[in-house]
C-alpha cells in the first residue's frame, strides 16, 4: 500500500499487502473480504525481512521495502513458513537482492530447493537459536505442524515482538486499521476461528505443544502473517487458541441438517424447538447443502453441542452431510455433545452411519438416534423435540 507506513515498534515495520482479488483461499475456503499477507521489516545494522507475500504481489512488496531501504541492502530474510502465500516472493526478491541470507529450519531448507530451486545463502537455525542483527536479537522457536512441519516463530527479544506466521492468523484484508485496537475485533475473532477450523485444526495437538513452549514468553506485540497485529488484547487470542486446540466449545448448539423434499426439514424444526425449550437459546441452524462449508465447519468448532440430521441417499448418508462428517473426522474435532436424526423411504442407512461416524469421533451421543420413514408422524416430531431438549440440557449443564 503505497504511502502507508505502519511502525509496530521502533524500527519494526509492516510491509505486507492486502489481497482483495482472491475469493477462495487455498482454492477451497471463501474469503469475501480478502486476506492480508503480513511481511515485517526490521531496520538494524543488518536489515531483516520476516516472511514475504504471495508471488503475484512481489512487486508491491518490493515497493513497500524501498520506502525504507534498497532491497540490495537487506541482510537477512527469515522464512518462518514455506507455504507460497508467505514465500512466493522469494525468487523475485533474490533477483534484485542476491546477497540476502535466508534464515530457516532444516526442513524449510529442503523445501526451498523443492519449491524454488534455492540452495545457496541459507542459514539453518535450531530451536532457541539467536541471531544478532545489530541492537536487536532474533530468537527462533520451532513450532512444527502449526501447520506445516518446517514452521518456526521469530521473536524480537528486545521489543518482545513475536512473529508466529500462520498461528493466530485470520481471514480478512486490513481495512485501514492494522492493530487490534484499530479494527472491528469481533469480526476478526470470528474469522480467526474460521481460519483455525479450516486450516489449522487438524494439528491441534502440535498447537498445544507450541503454546506450552511459548508460555511465559513476554509478548508485547503478536504479529501473525494474516490479519491484524495484536498489541492490546494478546491474552484473549492466546486463550482462544488454547481453547480451540483443546476442543472446548461454547455453550450453544449447531444444528446442521440436509433435506431433499422437506421431511427432514420438518423434523429439524421440531429438534430446534426442543433445543430452545431445553434452556439453550444459543442455536445456529445450517442447511448443509446451502451454507458455505467453511462456515459450517467453524460453527461445529465453536459450539459444545452439534446436532446432525439428514436423509438416506443411495443407502448411505446424504452426500453433503457425509462430506461434513468426513471432514470433521479428518480435522479431528473431539469433545462434542451430539444428537442424530435421519429419514429413509425403503432402505435405512443415514442415521446408523451418522452414528458410526460420531462414535468414531468419540463424541458424547445423546440417545435415541431417531430414524423415521418418509414423513415424520406427530409422535416422531415429539421425539425430535425431546431429543433437542436432551441435547440442550447436557450442553448447558456440562
Domain residue limits, the chain: 6-245, 251-397
Domain 6-245, what fold? Answer: Metallo-beta-lactamase; Chain A (3.60.15)
Q: Return d(Cα 98, Cα 121) in angstroms, integer.
A: 9
By the 8 A CB rule, do 36 and 124 touch? Answer: no
Helices (H) and strands (E) in the chain, counts: 12, 23
Given this structure, which CATH class describes domain 251-397?
alpha beta
Bridge partner list, 230: 222
Q: What is the pLDDT of residues 244-274, one digit of tens each?
A: 999 999 999 999 999 999 999 999 999 999 9
What does the pLDDT average to over 202-214?
A: 97
What pLDDT is recorded for position 2?
A: 60
Does the pLDDT value for residue 3 go beyond 80? Answer: no
Does the pLDDT value for residue 398 go beyond 80? Answer: no
Does the pLDDT value for residue 1 go beyond 90? Answer: no
What does the pLDDT average to over 3-24?
A: 93
Report the relative pairing of strands 370-373 and 337-344 from DSSP bridges: parallel
pLDDT tier at 348 (50, 70, 90 boundaries)?
Answer: confident
Query: Largest alpha-carbon pair distance within the chain?
Result: 77
Q: Return the percentage of the chain with pLDDT > 90, whole number.
A: 96
Q: What is the pLDDT of residues 42-96, one digit of tens each?
A: 999 999 999 999 999 999 999 999 999 999 999 999 999 999 999 999 999 999 9
What pLDDT is recorded for position 106?
A: 97
What does the pLDDT average to over 320-348?
A: 94
What pLDDT is recorded for position 347?
A: 75
Q: What is the pLDDT of residues 165-196, one digit of tens each?
A: 999 999 999 999 999 999 999 999 999 999 99
Mean pLDDT of the chain: 96
Name which of 208, 45, 209, 47 is nearest 127 in CA terms. 209
User: What pTM did the predictor assign?
Assistant: 0.95
Q: Which residues of 312-335 are buried (b: 16+ CB within 10 A; e: fewer)?
A: bbeebbbebbbebbebbeebebee
Report the relative pairing of strands 137-142 and 337-344 from DSSP bridges: unpaired
Q: What is the pLDDT of residues 270-308, one digit of tens each?
A: 999 999 999 999 999 999 999 999 999 999 999 999 999
Q: What is the pLDDT of residues 90-107, one digit of tens each?
A: 999 999 999 999 999 999
Q: Return d(Cα 239, Cα 229) in angstroms, integer.
A: 16
Sign of CA dihedral 308, 289, 254, 24: positive
With a CB cutoff of 8 Å and minimum separation 6, the contacts of 252 are 280, 282, 283, 284, 302, 303, 304, 305, 395
Q: Return d(Cα 66, Cα 357) in angstroms, integer.
A: 54
Q: What is the pLDDT of residues 351-386, one digit of tens each?
A: 999 999 999 999 999 999 999 999 999 999 999 999
How many residues are there in the chain? 398
Amino acid at each position: 500500500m503505497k504511502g502507508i507506513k505502519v511502525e509496530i515498534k521502533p524500527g519494526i515495520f509492516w510491509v505486507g499487502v492486502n489481497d482483495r482479488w482472491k475469493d477462495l483461499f487455498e482454492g477451497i475456503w471463501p474469503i469475501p473480504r480478502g486476506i492480508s499477507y503480513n511481511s515485517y521489516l526490521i531496520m538494524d545494522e543488518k536489515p531483516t525481512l520476516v516472511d514475504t507475500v504471495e508471488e503475484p504481489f512481489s512487486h508491491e512488496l518490493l515497493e513497500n521495502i524501498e520506502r525504507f531501504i534498497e532491497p540490495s541492502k537487506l541482510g537477512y530474510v527469515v522464512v518462518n513458513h514455506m507455504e507460497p502465500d508467505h514465500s512466493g516472493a522469494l525468487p523475485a526478491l533474490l533477483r534484485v537482492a542476491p546477497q540476502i541470507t535466508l534464515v530457516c529450519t532444516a526442513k524449510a531448507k529442503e523445501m526451498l530447493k523443492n519449491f524454488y530451486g534455492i540452495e545457496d545463502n541459507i542459514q539453518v537455525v535450531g530451536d532457541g537459536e539467536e541471531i544478532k542483527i545489530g541492537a536487536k536479537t532474533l530468537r527462533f522457536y520451532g513450532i512444527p505442524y502449526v501447520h506445516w512441519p518446517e514452521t518456526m516463530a521469530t521473536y524480537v527479544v528486545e521489543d518482545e515482538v513475536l512473529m508466529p506466521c500462520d498461528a493466530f492468523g485470520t481471514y480478512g484484508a486490513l481495512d485501514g486499521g492494522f492493530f487490534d485496537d484499530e479494527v472491528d475485533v469481533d469480526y476478526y475473532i470470528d474469522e480467526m476461528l474460521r481460519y483455525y477450523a479450516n486450516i489449522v485444526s487438524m494439528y491441534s495437538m502440535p498447537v498445544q505443544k507450541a503454546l506450552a513452549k511459548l508460555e511465559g514468553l513476554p509478548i508485547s506485540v503478536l504479529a501473525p502473517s494474516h490479519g491484524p497485529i495484536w498489541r492490546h488484547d494478546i491474552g484473549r487470542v492466546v486463550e482462544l487458541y488454547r481453547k480451540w486446540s483443546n476442543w472446548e466449545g461454547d455453550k450453544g448448539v449447531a444444528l446442521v441438517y440436509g433435506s431433499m423434499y422437506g421431511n427432514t426439514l420438518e423434523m429439524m424444526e421440531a429438534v430446534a424447538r426442543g433445543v430452545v425449550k431445553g434452556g439453550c437459546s444459543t442455536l445456529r441452524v445450517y442447511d448443509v447443502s446451502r451454507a458455505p462449508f467453511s462456515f459450517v465447519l467453524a460453527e461445529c468448532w465453536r459450539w459444545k453441542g452439534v446436532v446432525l440430521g439428514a436423509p438416506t441417499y443411495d443407502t448411505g448418508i446424504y452426500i453433503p452431510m457425509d462430506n461434513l462428517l468426513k471432514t470433521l473426522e479428518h480435522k479431528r474435532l473431539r469433545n462434542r455433545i451430539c444428537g442424530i436424526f435421519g429419514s429413509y423411504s425403503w432402505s435405512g442407512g443415514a442415521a446408523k452411519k451418522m452414528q458410526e461416524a460420531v462414535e468414531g469421533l468419540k463424541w458424547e451421543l445423546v440417545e435415541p438416534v431417531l430414524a423415521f420413514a418418509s414423513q415424520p408422524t406427530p409422535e416422531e416430531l415429539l421425539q425430535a423435540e425431546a431429543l433437542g431438549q436432551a441435547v440442550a440440557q447436557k450442553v448447558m449443564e456440562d
